[in-house]
Structures are given as C-alpha cells and as structure tokens.
Amino acid sequence: MRPREKLSPDHAAELERVRQAYPDVTQACNLARAFTDLVRNRRGHLLTEWIRQGERCGQPSIRSFAGFLRQDLDAVTAALTLAYSSGVVEGHVCRVKLLKRSMYRRASFALLRARILARPCPWLFSAG
C-alpha cells in the first residue's frame, strides 16, 4: 500500500508483473489505493461511488467489504468527513483493561478502583 513513488525498483517491477498477469489484482489494488485515499484525505463524499465500484469488483473479499460499509453507510461517512474521534476514550478503555488484566485474581475490586482513579499509565499519557 505504499505510494508507487516510494517503492523500490525491484518491488515496482514485481508489482507490475503481478498486475499484468492477474487483472483482478490490478482492480483490487486500484480500489485499495482509492479507499486509502478516502480515509487519509477524509473524502467521505466519494464513499458511495467507491462502494459501487467495490460491489462490482471481481474479488469476493472487496465485494464483501463494500457491502459491509453499505450496511452502516451513515456512520462510515461521518467517520470519513467529521473531525470527531473516539481515540481518547479508546485509550482510557485500553488502560482500564490493562490494569484489570494485570490484577486478575490478585486483588480486590476496591484496589482495582483505586488504581484506575489514582493516576494514568505514563506511556498512554506522555506529554510529547
């Protein structure tokens, strides 16, 4: 999935040989690159067109993925267009699960609660 200009000459040549030998791979690569562009550049307005192309693709896995995206189109479009993120919340959930796993069968709920509320894990909330 690297940009073509960042591929080594050997990798670029191998990719071109595979693309010529297998047209389905070419279509799958093009769709994967287009989807990567949608995500990286937050182009949610182009998502429905990508889903249409994905559903017509010869690769069953891409057709399935496109169908999955269509099932929750509003949420996926919002994720690709809005600046909101649940990353901070997911970080806290990960931290709590890590503490819970590390204390499993070793301590009481009261101690777990105290550790969760006491201070955050330093590697999750570093200032740099």
Q: Is residue 65 part of a domain?
A: yes
Domain that holds residue 67: 4-81
48: in domain: yes
What's the total number of domains in the chain? 2
Question: Which residues, other chains included, contact 54 with Cβ-Cβ below 8 Å and sequence gap of 6+?
Answer: 31, 35, 62, 63, 65, 66, 69
Tell me the pLDDT tens digit for each residue of 86-122.
Answer: 788 888 888 889 888 888 888 788 888 888 888 665 5
Residues 76 and 93 grouped into a single domain: no
Q: How far is CA 32 from CA 25, 59, 61, 82, in A?
A: 10, 12, 11, 22
Are residue 46 and residue 69 in the same domain, yes or no? yes
* Domain annotation covers residue 123: no
| pLDDT, tens digit (0-9, with 9 covering 90-100), for 12-65 | 899 889 888 888 888 888 899 899 999 988 898 999 999 999 999 888 999 999
| pLDDT value of residue 128 | 46
Q: If we measure between CA atoms, which residue out of 70, 76, 78, 116 comes closest to residue 97?
A: 116
Report if residue 128 sits inside a domain.
no
How far apart are alpha carbons 57 and 35 in whole angstroms?
A: 13
The verdict on 26 and 66 lying in the same domain is yes
Q: Judge if 107 and 71 occupy the same domain.
A: no
